Amino acid sequence: MECIVSTNKLYKKYKKHIAISGVEMHISKGSIYGLIGKNGAGKSTLLKIIAGLSMPSSGSVSSIPKDKMGVLIESPALYQNLTAYENLKLKCIALGIKDYGCINETLKIVGLYQDNKKVKNYSLGMKQRLGIGLALIGNPQLLILDEPINGLDPQGILEIRNVIIKLNGEKNITIIISSHILEELSKLATDFGFINQGMLLRELSQKELDEKCGERLEIVVDNINKAKETLKRLEIRDYEVNENQGSIYIYERIEESAEIGTELVKSAVKIKAMTCVKQSLEEFYFDLMEETEYA
């Protein structure tokens, strides 16, 4: 699919601290890309570079023009003593937009239409939705949202989720949304990028993530290289290796576990443990994080 954003060996260094390290990211047009990582993993830095709010130390970003992007990074800058309509009108004036008809349409999308309260009386969730509304002024093709559900209660999270799905489905806006909450992003993202210590560990589609979190055969062996040679001979290709744990995760022909075990033993591979498991999204996430921590 056509990429709306891609990065090439992106680095960002602050004095001695490397915030972003060799990131190669690919965001397809029309997707909802969930950027997942714990606090301090480099999510905000990466999004600021994509949005043009920060320059990389090296590497490059290929994307649509910055005026075709809507950005909500950190807390939205809101005028507390004005209404939602008045806040959006000021954004229109700043961008030179003279037709204010887009304001009510935007307020309907974010669920704040005909709400005449001053923003200082809004809940955190309402302020976040207004922040998204501000980012939508100018009809962006790409919307960048950094931790928009952070600190929200379940109702606030649901409201933001519905807005994002609506924008993507009805307006065909490509959306990058960062969060450390995998379970929530799994409910709306079509693609995922996992980041830790400034490195993008892996990119997966929703289908690929579902497959990785499906049933698998987990084998702990004494010799990873010999085990890989055996799997190659058996024409088993869909597997992963965790060098730190001495484990191999096999995602195909799981029903042949007895035969696979027999062939490994014949190849002088000692099997320490063999289990058929179904991995949760959180387990998959933490396994990826662990790979970086001990690299």
The SS3 assignment for 171 reads helix
pLDDT for the residue numbered 294: 54
**Residues of the chain under the 50 pLDDT cut:** none
Contacts 24+ apart (CB under 8 A), 278-286: 278/213, 278/214, 278/215, 278/216, 279/212, 279/213, 279/214, 279/216, 280/213, 281/182, 281/183, 281/186, 281/209, 281/213, 282/182, 282/183, 283/213, 284/209, 284/212, 284/213, 285/36, 285/182, 285/194
Q: Rg for the chain (alpha carbons), in Å? A: 23
Q: What is the fold, at CATH topology level, of the domain defined by 215-278?
A: Alpha-Beta Plaits (3.30.70)
Give dist(CA 104, CA 101) in Å, integer: 6
What are residue 293's phi and psi, to 5 degrees? -60, -35
- Taking only the tens place, the pLDDT of each residue in 79-93 is 999 999 999 999 999
Q: What is the pLDDT of residue 50?
A: 96
- Tokens encoding 259: 């035969």
At the fourth CATH level, the homologous superfamily of domain 3-205 is P-loop containing nucleotide triphosphate hydrolases (3.40.50.300)
Residue 55's pLDDT is 95
The pLDDT of residue 31 is 96
Per-residue pLDDT at 293 = 63
- pLDDT value for 25: 96
Q: What are the tens digits of pLDDT across the range 146-183? A: 999 988 988 999 999 999 999 999 999 999 999 888 88
Q: How many Cα neighbours within 13 Å face the side chain of 245?
A: 14
Beta-bridge partner residues of 36: 179, 194
Residues of the chain with CATH 3.30.70.100: 215-278
| Token pair recorded at residue 133 | 């509304």
pLDDT of residue 203: 95
Q: What is the pLDDT of residue 292?
A: 64
Q: Are strands 247-250 and 215-221 parallel, antiparallel or unpaired?
A: antiparallel
pLDDT at 281: 75
Helix axes 101-109, 154-171, angle to 10 degrees: 130
Give the pLDDT of residue 89. Answer: 96
